[in-house]
Structure 1
């Protein structure tokens, strides 16, 4: 499962409810949409496909006028931080008579089915929600904020990081609003030695996070969920956390052994930029890269 990202959508009414073009069978797309000028028009009908948009409102939207299947929902104020669901099978439409700012996460039905299969659960049916009604859901709001931060600082290139966020969001939606309940499984061990070796090889060769978690799992002959659980059992950490530690080790080696500019160190070790390296390095090591370099090169 991969995530396509677009930092901002500045124009185009169809962007509000249309499914992102690259969203395929199991692909999920996260898009920040910012329309600063009201269009005073109704969004065009989106393609009727079996997919859901989870919308995190990022600015207040007063007196929302909204339709599903041509039926008007009650006019409501939507507050920043509220969550709404838009079932693309039902032709959701909205009057854009004011500025609009929201995060849309597009989840196809096939992704929910894959989560159910991986959880040993029955696939979900329709979600339990009221059209056009904003909900308070701290879990989705928190995951959405993390996805949004990733889009803005370039972490969307880090596929394992974003995959975990989107899988967690989709699983939460399926459980809380779709009634999905996982059946208990027998406790299993971690990765086989060859699987652990292969996972290390792929992740270490892609410090920039360019290897999607689904591809690493496929190389190990496992589903994404089974791989993630087995990886944690084998290594005591998630694939993303393991990758962060490998980046830090590579950065330390370069900082210790040469005077390469920190901006080049960051890019060489899979960080988005120097500020990203500084944030992670300071959090994990307790000192900035520059301060650590002065200490070890004395």
Structure 2
């Protein structure tokens, strides 16, 4: 089998993706999914050389391919290494020569949103995440794959789920990869009953909207991270699961008491498509919306 040829990446932007300097566009991207503060890209790229980057966001690469050799230039020296499945690079910016085609996930995180998500854990908005090469972190890998799966399912209502994962990732980065000397604070405590009651009321009153986690957290005057942890402690479910449960329950009422079309019911309870509504309805009730209505 002939050795794969490498070529320098074309630096002329071909698209609006954060990684427009790469030879091929991503196989999958959340660029237009409406996720706040994070862009996920799933790539399969040929061997190529990528330029040194001036990072304006926190970047995480999760390698999903077979063992691959690469070279990067560090302080003028060429350093050779290999990536294995599950290896993670955080804020890598050096000029890199990839000697083999590879598959990976890229996560681009807006620093201001990371700081806001972790506002209960640090007393500064200028969070410095330390560069890492070839680290192993099961939680980052799990979150990356969960975001990819959510994007592939085209789930709406997924904005709350995606934001929950993003907030968990932000806090994990601050706790474990923050530069030394930056103060990480302790857990701020539980959710007051009045805020819990208001949060539940807010969710029920806005089921038809494409709610975001940040929107709910702001409504009760809390950070997304603190709200998510405290809400789960109080309710037993994370916000995105509670939101789906409420939507399914409202849909059951509309199926029983109205003659509305199933597509219209899906829209009224906050799902963007009938197919996604049917999938989640089946997951929660073990039947389809039509079968549920016919059984009444």
| TM-score when normalising by structure 1 | 0.71
Q: Any unmatched runs of 5+ in structure 1?
A: 1-7
Q: 1:35 to 1:120 in 2, by over 3 A?
A: closer
Shift of 1:144: 1.1
| Partner SS state of residue 42, structure 1 | strand
1:241 counterpart residue number: 241
- Match among 29, 34, 37 for residue 28 of structure 1: 37
| CA apart distance, 1:118 | 0.7
Distance 1:276 1:156, change over 3 A: closer
For residues 105-127 of structure 1, give each alpha carbon's deviation from its aligned partner in whole angstroms, at most 9, with x where no partner exists.
12244444445541257886553
**Structure 2 residue aligned with 1:256:** 256
Which residue matches 2:288?
A: 288
Where does the alignment leave 5 or more consecutive residues of structure 2 unmatched?
A: 1-15
Structure 1 residues 81-114: Cα deviation after superposition (integer angstroms, max 9, x where no partner):
3322224xxx333335544432211224444444
Check the 8 A contact 2:281/2:289 in 1, yes or no: yes
Give the RMSD, CA atoms, in angstroms. Answer: 3.7
Query: Which segment is superposed worse, 285-294 or 254-263?
Result: 254-263
Rounded to whole Å, the distance in 1 between the matches of 2:100 and 2:268 is: 44
Cα offset for 1:283? Answer: 2.6
Q: What does 1:38-49 align with in structure 2 at a 5 Å threshold?
A: 38=46, 41-49=48-56
- Compute the displacement of 1:64 (Å): 2.1
Residue 71 of structure 1, CA deviation: 4.6
2:63 paired with 1:57: yes
| Conserved 8 A contact 1:118-1:226 | yes
Greater helix share, 1 or 2? 1
Whether the aligned pair in 2 keeps the contact of 1:118 and 1:223 (CA below 8 Å) is: yes
Query: So what's the TM-score if we normalise by structure 2?
Result: 0.72
How many angstroms apart in 2 are the aligned matches of 1:150 and 1:56? 17
Instruction: Quote how far apart the aligned CAs of 1:248 are.
Output: 0.1
Seen in structure 2, the aligned counterparts of structure 1 residues 69 and 286 have a Cα distance that, compared at 3 Å, is: farther
Can you list the C-alpha shifts for 1:197-247, whole angstroms capped at 9, x where unaligned? 366335642545x23222322232222233334444554433212211121
Alpha-carbon distance change, 247 to 63 in structure 1, aligned in 2, over 3 angstroms: same
Q: How many pairs were matched up?
A: 268
Partner of 1:205: 206
Q: Contact 1:56–1:103 at 8 Å: present in 2 too?
A: yes
CA distance in structure 2 between the partners assigned to 1:291 and 1:67 by the alignment? 61
